[in-house]
Chains A and B, each alone.
Chain A
């Protein structure tokens, strides 16, 4: 190590740097600044001149403005490398886009700096570049003194996981930095690879006072969109999440007024509603909720937090603006709110007739005027409404559980006819009675079905409920239950308003309800029935059409038949039919009841 540092000290005075930039001011500044550091600085205004110098003369470091004459300066890099593979190239550019950084990095430069240059950082980079150059030139001498293992260790190629452990940075951040060319890395296929000593070198440079990059690094580790805003309300730095949240490229942001970027507004926000201005004013952290719009005009609900950055005197020189996009949470909340209000409305509505009936029956004055027949009618009506309310709560809970995948389906051999089908019809008898409806049942085959009996009861009950609700008074509900070794099928048909032809596919959707008057319920029943059937690997479908001479004719059959479709629809009664099909048992097992 002593030997290396001696080489450095003695050699730096003779180190030749060639700078190529079309910006004369920049050339003068760099020449002066690096000259003071003891380097011999030469400038090249033309590409040919620069290449000539590299070819014929001894050049130790090249500083190349990749955007000098046109935007394709980085294309020179491979040519230079062919001429002198050991020459460290420091690329500089005023273009701070990720695209440019990636293109330059792909060519494999020693360092890439964005203008305005941080001179402290540049001097450090030069020092490192020169050390590497010297080390490489003297490599045979040094490696002779070191063990081979050591060299292998330093040149060790690391993958993302190993590099992430060494640098104590998340893989995500590391990948992001590598992608943006802010860290020396190579990409092979989809994977990133790093060289150990290059990583340490980068870390040294980053940590040794390059505050701008270090700051950016910290900003990059944050998931939220973060920007640093100065007193003029101009953005001076930001992270990728900020660009992503606002859907704008980096070059459109840096140096731009924050309100133009975040609100797409030409004027600053009112001071009272602007967290950044408030943070400057109060010198305290401020949080507000803002609605921002992306380039498609979609609303984004964002928590905007402004944190004051104070200088040594305690004055707020900049404000760190953190934008947390809460749209997803906001939307979810809105949805939950909607469901809750829907539920409250439906239950209060269903409670309406119950409270009216019961309160009338217990009212001293009123109850005396109500005869026994009327009283029974009122009680029956209340009972039906209560059943409706109970179903609503049950469906709501099942639907919630199914969505959260916490529904339990305990399958066993169930006597579908006696344990599910007939009890459900029995439970719903008050509803049938009230609408003066009859239920005609037809049962074919007897066999146990492998299913969750309780869930199946809910599915059956919901389909029957639907038939009762939408069936006309005094009509007949026709059901067919057929079971064999492969499958069982339940078909329930009702006469009534039917299902509009264009709504047949949507009828099982959550909160779907195409009712006319006098119907209540949450529009969850059929949705829940479908979920239950699907849990059992079954299917459910809806059919609707007209009743012709008492026989159901679907819309498709009706309109497909020349003679039939001449009939006036108005004169025809409609039907709705639900057909549920499910496998009878698992893997064809015969199950005992």
Chain B
């Protein structure tokens, strides 16, 4: 790895943040965390991560969706790949996986279900960053 890649991890579950941060750090990434959409937007004014890992539901059911749409609209953050995480049942009411990539609806680069195993998440992040 030429230089350490930065990841911004956004989730409202503190335990999940702690566990995931550790796994990503031990896998060679530099990780910053935040617990709300508002905090995330504030942080993005100061740093420019290489990838954002974002939970669908935080303060409200749609805050994750709204945040990723906002990020994709802003020319400053538009290019940052987003990996979306969710604990919503895959089958109901919406099939997120098939919608990932739909610019207007769910403009994210990748999508992963919760719970996710450490190596699966790491591989997915590496793939997004085109790291071998």
Question: Which residues of A approach B to under 8 Å, CB–CB?
Answer: 337, 341, 344-346, 348-349, 351-357, 359-360, 363, 366, 369-370, 374, 378, 381, 384-385, 517-518, 520
Contacts and interface: CB of A to CB of B under 8 A. Distances in A.
B15 A353 contact: yes
A352 B87 contact: yes
Contacts of B57: 345
Interface residues of B, number: 30
Contacts of A518: 12-14, 35
Given A363-B118, A366-B26, A517-B36, A345 B19 contact: no
**Chief secondary structure at chain A's binding surface:** helix
Interface in B68-126: 87-89, 92-93, 113-119, 121
Contacts, number: 89
* CB-CB nearest 4 A-B residue pairs: A355-B115, A348-B87, A518-B14, A353-B15
Given A366-B27, A381-B19, A384-B15, A355 B116 contact: yes
A385 B22 contact: no
A363 B16 contact: no
A381 B18 contact: yes
B31 interface: no
Given A351-B115, A352-B114, A360 B22 contact: yes
A353 B13 CA distance: 9
Contacts of B92: 337, 341
Interface string B25-68: 01100000001100000000000000000000111000000000
Given A348-B89, A381-B15, 9 more contacts: A337-B92, A341-B92, A348-B115, A353-B13, A353-B15, A353-B20, A356-B16, A360-B23, A366-B119
Contacts of A363: 118-119
Contacts of A385: 15
Contacts of B113: 348
Given A352-B115, A517-B14, A518-B35, A345 B20 contact: no
Interface of B: 12-16, 18-20, 22-23, 26-27, 35-36, 57-59, 87-89, 92-93, 113-119, 121
B125 to A, nearest CB: 13
A540 B87 CA distance: 33
Contact of B35 (A344, A352, A517): A517
Contacts of B93: 341
B62 to A, nearest CB: 14
Nearest to A354: B115
Contacts of B118: 356, 359-360, 363, 366
A520 B88 contact: no
B63 to A, nearest CB: 11
A66 to B, nearest CB: 57
A517 B63 CA distance: 13
A225 B35 CA distance: 53
A360 B27 CA distance: 10
A239 B62 CA distance: 47
B18 to A, nearest CB: 7
A378 B114 contact: no
A385 B115 CA distance: 13
Interface centre among B13, B36, B92, B113 (most CB of A within 10 A): B13
A359 B119 contact: yes
Contacts of B58: 517
Contact of A348 (B22, B23, B26, B114): B114
A352 B119 contact: no
Contacts of A370: 22, 26
Given A363-B119, A366-B27, A518-B13, A374 B22 contact: yes
A374 to B, nearest CB: 7
Contacts of B12: 517-518
A294 to B, nearest CB: 26
Contacts of B19: 352-353, 356-357, 360, 378, 381
Nearest to B11: A352
Contacts of A517: 12, 14, 35-36, 58-59
A153 B11 CA distance: 83
Interface centre among B19, B20, B23, B88 (most CB of A within 10 A): B19
A384 B57 CA distance: 22
B15 to A, nearest CB: 4
11 contacts: A341-B88, A346-B87, A349-B13, A349-B16, A352-B87, A355-B117, A357-B19, A360-B23, A363-B118, A517-B36, A518-B12
B5 to A, nearest CB: 17
Contacts of A381: 15, 18-19
A352 B23 contact: no
Nearest to A520: B13
Interface centre among A344, A351, A359, A374 (most CB of B within 10 A): A359
Nearest to B93: A341
A363 to B, nearest CB: 6
Contacts of B13: 349, 352-353, 518, 520
Contacts of B115: 348, 351-352, 354-356
Nearest to A355: B115
Contacts of A520: 13
Contacts of B59: 517
Contacts of A360: 19, 22-23, 26, 118
A334 to B, nearest CB: 11
B89 A341 contact: yes
A355 B113 CA distance: 12
Interface centre among B16, B59, B113, B119 (most CB of A within 10 A): B16
A370 B88 CA distance: 31
Nearest to A367: B26
Contacts of A352: 13, 15-16, 19, 87, 114-116
A356 B43 CA distance: 25
A357 B116 CA distance: 10
Contacts of A344: 87-89
B8 to A, nearest CB: 16
A369 B29 CA distance: 14
A520 B117 CA distance: 20
A378 B22 contact: yes
Contact of A359 (B14, B36, B87, B117): B117
Contacts of A384: 15
A392 B83 CA distance: 29
B26 A351 contact: no
A550 B113 CA distance: 45
